[in-house]
Amino acid sequence: TTQIKLHDCAKTFADGTRALAPFDLEITGGETVVLLGPSGCGKTTILRMIAGLEFPDAGGKITFDGDDVTRQSIEKRRVGMVFQSYALFPNMSVAQNVAYGLKVHGVGRDERDARVTAMLEMMHIDMLADRAIDQLSGGQRQRVALARAIAVQPRVLLLDEPLTALDAKLRVRLRTEINGLLRKLGITAVYVTHDQEEAMALGDRIVVMQKGKIAQIGTPREIYRKPQSPFVADFVGAANRLDGQMHDGRLHIGERVFDAVDAFDPRHGDIIDQGPVELYFRADGLSTCEAGDADFTGRVEAVSYLGERLRLTVSGIGSMPVIVDTHPDDVISAGTPVHCRVNADRLTVFPAV
């Protein structure tokens, strides 16, 4: 398995667009790293730099297992790629598509046939071997694209939003299969997505990107529980926000005071002792409770039944409504008051800007 290092890599396009500020990134052999961020933040540009389809600005360096590949072409680097648009050869059958790269690499006929069969079986499309590409569904096409990419036994597998064009249910199913496939192959993989759930499900580590810069690198758990900036918190789904104040290391929200919160300034790593803060949290940062235990009483604006939970939109706690989840069997209607308790350990505290 191949270890990838990008050192001091930046990218300015010919038209002057600064797509990426200089960054370093190390990918361990066999690891799946997910590049996560909104559209236009530079994910595809990083992937194309690893592939050899774009080159970093002067000074940047890319190595595979210590070998300098910075100026090497895509053919030399032996990477497999899968895109959102399938990029299959429409005039060839499924088997011919998968065999194509092997032919180019000079793999002999018998070996080629054996590998194609194995790949099609692995992707559960062996019964489609002789089908034409235009007679396949989107999910089947993406299976062919995956089979084609891994057939040549690449050092690195690069996937650019491969599931984005598929419907939600199929997306989850293929995601699970890709996860199994990456573990089974033990191949080094870089996976681009703008979907935080997909990133969590697939990544050993996630690189969260914001406007051409790396905002945070961490395991799914670290990114989810310890976002280092409001941007990351917001992007990975901490939709709730409240304002607070730190006084002598204790958190004040309105009239209420909370101990034992981690309040770090991510810019300097200092503990925030004093001053205005912003609190970011998910639905589990607040729970409904009896009046006597309540930190706040708000008003239910909307109720959605989500099967495994009841989701309330509650106003009157902060300046904006917050989302609170409760037991799905609870009977609560819009327009009624609701008592809430704060789960202080679920809050992420940032200095107010």
Contacts with Mg ion by CB under 5 A lie at 44
The SS3 of residue 54 is coil
Burial of 59 (0-12, 13-18, 19+ CB in 10 A): exposed
What is the rounded end-to-end Cα distance, in angstroms, of the chain? 44
Complex with ligand ADP: residue 40 or 59, whichever CB lies closer: 40
Evaluated on CA atoms 160, 164, 166, 170, the torsion sign reads: positive
95 belongs to the binding site for ligand ADP (CB under 6 A)? no
In angstroms, give the least distance from the CB of 160 to ligand ADP: 7
Q: Which residues contact 118 (CB under 8 A, 6 or more apart)?
A: none
Identity of the residue numbered 217? I
Complex with ligand ADP: residue 13 or 89, whichever CB lies closer: 13
User: Which region, judged by CB under 6 A, interacts with ligand ADP, from 41-49, 72-80, 127-135, 302-310?
Assistant: 41-49
What 8-state DSSP symbol labels residue 57? P
Q: Are 143 and 151 in contact (CB under 8 A)?
A: no
44 belongs to the binding site for ligand ADP (CB under 6 A)? yes
- The Cα 28–Cα 47 span in angstroms is 16
84 belongs to the binding site for ligand ADP (CB under 6 A)? no
Sole binder of ligand ADP in the list 42, 60, 162, 318 (CB under 6 A):
42
Among 311, 308, 298, which Cα is nearest to 338's? 298
- Paired tokens of 139: 């999910």
In angstroms, give the least distance from the CB of 231 to ligand ADP: 14
- The Cα 5–Cα 68 span in angstroms is 9
Among 344, 209, 198, 214, which Cα is nearest to 285's? 344
45 belongs to the binding site for ligand ADP (CB under 6 A)? yes
Q: Are 191 and 35 in contact (CB under 8 A)?
A: yes
329 belongs to the binding site for ligand ADP (CB under 6 A)? no
Complex with Mg ion: residue 44 or 326, whichever CB lies closer: 44
**Which of ligand ADP, Mg ion, none does residue 125 bind to, with CB < 5 to 8 Å depending on kind?**
none
Site for ligand ADP in 14-33 (CB under 6 A): 15, 17, 19
Q: Which residues contact 27 (CB under 8 A, 6 or more apart)?
A: 3, 4, 5, 33, 188, 190
**Which of ligand ADP, Mg ion, none does residue 42 bind to, with CB < 5 to 8 Å depending on kind?**
ligand ADP
Complex with ligand ADP: residue 45 or 140, whichever CB lies closer: 45
**Which of Mg ion, ligand ADP, none does residue 40 bind to, with CB < 5 to 8 Å depending on kind?**
ligand ADP
43 belongs to the binding site for ligand ADP (CB under 6 A)? yes
Complex with Mg ion: residue 13 or 135, whichever CB lies closer: 13
Site for ligand ADP in 138-177 (CB under 6 A): none
Which residues contact ligand ADP (rule: CB under 6 A)? 13, 15, 17, 19, 37, 39-45
